[in-house]
Chain A
Amino acid sequence: MESKQTWTEVIKPNKRVFDLQLKELFRYSDLILLFVRRDFVSTYKQTILGPIWFFLQPLFTTAIFIVIFTYIAKLSTDAIPPALFYLSGITIWTFFSECLLKTSNTFTMNAGIFGKVYFPRLVTPISIIFSNSIKLILQLLLLLLVFVYFIAKQEVSFYLSFNLLLIPYVLAMVALLSLGLGIIISSLTTKYRDLAFIIQFGIQLLMYATPVIYPLNITEGRLKLLLSLNPLTAYIETFRFSLFQKATFDSSMLVHSSVFTLVVLFLGIIIFNKIEKSFMDTV
């Protein structure tokens, strides 16, 4: 007699390349939130200042940048008050670099837990992006405070325009870019750790290839073209433009960055999904 035998799941050596399993990821959304909560709570446990550190970090960095790059090196800040110029750059940059650094060792840092229980591995890098987003929101509030201070001093003025709508778009794209790059790097480092070293100092160097401490429009010619290829250039410039109405806004650069980001993210998910099945054997 033939009974109704059904299978809810078949485990095979390889799954199809484009099987991204995003539906399963959605089922684990509770876990993402719990990971975010864990990261947030545990980071500042047993510190006296707690989340105030979120504000101190960018404030100190900004102060030092003002001293070095404005007073000593006398770099232009695109007619934006230096404090606002650096703080806005640092906010976006730290968000990007921290997301990238933390997601890029997803597999090696979580080998213990990944070796004992299954859940979609993408949960981990995504939760890292969310944890950092909370931090980003707090730092944006700080930026807003400083902005209001400069408006009160009438050193800058605030324009209400549709350009402000570009801000959430830019932030989302920066998050996706760091996620995409991070998971590609984490996938590649499971077997060969060399890349982990490159990323350590590479990210420091990358900051100088991004208009964080200088505006894009003080460069020209081939150098400017080269900097425009960096997808972060358009994001940081657009961010400053939509807040302060200064800095460069170039829609073709933004389109280039967006396409770059989406391609990287898509490739990242494919590679990550392929690696997650076998990484326990090589890590």
Chain B
Amino acid sequence: MDILAIKVEHLYKQYRLGVVSTGTLVHDINRWVHKLRGKEDPYSKVTTINDRTQKKESEYVWSLSDINFEVKQGDVLGVIGRNGAGKSTLLKVLSKITAPTKGTVKVNGRVASLLEVGTGFHPELTGRENIFLNGAILGMSKREIKTKFDQIVDFSGVEMYIDTPVKRYSSGMHVRLAFAVAAHLESEILIVDEVLAVGDAEFQKKCLGKMSEVSRGEGRTVLFVSHNMGAIQNLCTRSILLSNGCITFDGLVEEGIRKYNSSLVSLLQHIAVADRKDRTGSQVIKLISFKINGMECDGIIRLNSSDTLVVEMTFQSIDDYSGGRIMFGVYDENSQRPLFIDSDLEMIRLDFKKGLNHIKVSFPEKFSLGFGNYTMNYSVFNNIEVVDYIQQVAVFEVIESDFYQNSRSSQQSPRILIRTKWEISH
């Protein structure tokens, strides 16, 4: 039998929604009275499952509910799930930042968690001083840091500035130095949250390389959370899929990612845009319909790569607003963003009239996204603030078709297909 590094049993985590106010005091006193009389917490019963798309009936929510899993020593486990599925909460409980409401976590070995790079960096201190400070915050002793100091500096590539206060560093250098410290932690278990989202592509690659070296070479256990499915697939052998605070899948990483992608589709299939509750903003201008051209099949919109992408939106505005602005981001399966559209950048002035407003955005011809699944985020501004914002407002698939009109296609899986004009001169 393999030795386990982590064992999570019946883990629950309850959060209270809304603001802390006098109401909190009343709840606290009520809870305390129940406790004195040996009764159950009156608020644990009314807690609903965590589904951000639906409006809450209760002020309390189970951010994690009945989580059970084991991680063997040397495993690299990917934790995937939508925003708000409980990934970060799980990592926080595992790294002792917050205590669980119920259940236990058993850990075998020293845990180092990396929920953010450069925690505790002080801008006035030099790079050298910050390496020691950050290392100590992450749980290293001074002696350990001393022996690894040269390696850390070498990995970060900021030798020249090591005695300069970090406030003079570029943000890239900052991240490099911070990750370098974290990468040299000597712990048996490493917990990593979405930290690779920062930094340039080259450094990201270096970090991923270091992480796989850590897990494969040194036999360390790694828990890895990311929206970057590519990174998950590269690094992890196993994955757990969280949705609404529960584990809905535990198994091979490829299947986990597939399940994740299809769960996204099924979510969007069941709820019309107008009924979506997982939106932010005052909604004085509210999106009530969002359509992408293409044929709909099993709830997912399919688009031929030879078709022009057209987005049609309908907004309900409660007043006249001049100078509105719409943005949307298009994300691929690896959470990369090949496209970001901002009406303001194109000097488009959107004047909303009270009532319904229809807006149509057409992408240029001779352009297409590469084959694969995409999701879209959208936000609308009324010249000052975001008034409506929905993540993953739509999902669509671009399928292979004859983009170049010559029955040929690229084997390089590009994210964007374009038709170019060529000239040669002699």
Contact = CB atoms under 8 A, between A and B. Distances in A.
Interface stretch (A2-10, A202-210, A241-249, A264-272): A2-10
A153 B71 CA distance: 75
Interface stretch (A60-68, A112-120, A175-183, A251-259): A112-120
Contacts of A224: none
Contacts of B24: 191-192
Given A10-B107, A13-B100, A42-B122, A118 B95 contact: yes
A166 B196 CA distance: 55
Nearest to B110: A8
A8 B107 contact: yes
Interface in A219-247: none
A11 B8 CA distance: 9
A118 B113 contact: yes
A42 B130 CA distance: 12
Given A7-B108, A8-B107, A14-B99, A116 B115 contact: yes
Contact of A117 (B1, B3, B102, B115): B115
Nearest to A277: B99
Contacts of B142: 30, 33-34
B351 to A, nearest CB: 41
A23 to B, nearest CB: 15
Interface residues of B, number: 49
B97 A280 contact: yes
B28 to A, nearest CB: 8
Residue picked from A3, A42, A113, A118, most chain B C-beta under 10 Å: A118
B115 A8 contact: no
A1 interface: yes
| Chain A contact surface mostly | loop
Contacts of B1: 1-3
Residue picked from A9, A11, A27, A33, most chain B C-beta under 10 Å: A11
B175 to A, nearest CB: 15
Contacts of B7: 7
Interface string A181-222: 000000000011000000000000000000000000000000
B124 A34 contact: no
Contacts of A31: 136-137
Range, interface on chain A: 35 or more
A119 B104 contact: no
B276 to A, nearest CB: 27
A280 B100 contact: no
B3 A3 contact: yes
A74 interface: no
B111 to A, nearest CB: 8
Nearest to B143: A30
B161 interface: no
Nearest to B116: A116
A34 B133 CA distance: 6
Contact of B124 (A1, A30, A42, A281): A42
Nearest to B165: A45
Residue picked from B106, B108, B113, most chain A C-beta under 10 Å: B106
Nearest to A10: B106
Contacts of B165: 45
A101 to B, nearest CB: 20
B228 interface: no
Pairs A-B, 8 closest by C-beta atoms: A277-B99, A11-B105, A31-B136, A118-B96, A42-B124, A7-B106, A30-B142, A116-B116
19 contacts: A1-B1, A3-B2, A4-B3, A5-B4, A6-B108, A9-B106, A10-B106, A11-B94, A11-B96, A11-B106, A42-B125, A45-B124, A46-B124, A113-B120, A118-B113, A277-B99, A280-B97, A280-B98, A282-B20
Given A11-B99, A31-B136, A114-B97, 12 more contacts: A7-B7, A10-B107, A11-B94, A13-B102, A30-B142, A37-B129, A38-B129, A41-B124, A41-B125, A113-B120, A191-B24, A282-B20
Interface of B: 1-4, 7, 15-16, 20, 24-25, 28, 92-111, 113, 115-116, 119-120, 122, 124-125, 129, 132-133, 136-139, 141-142, 165
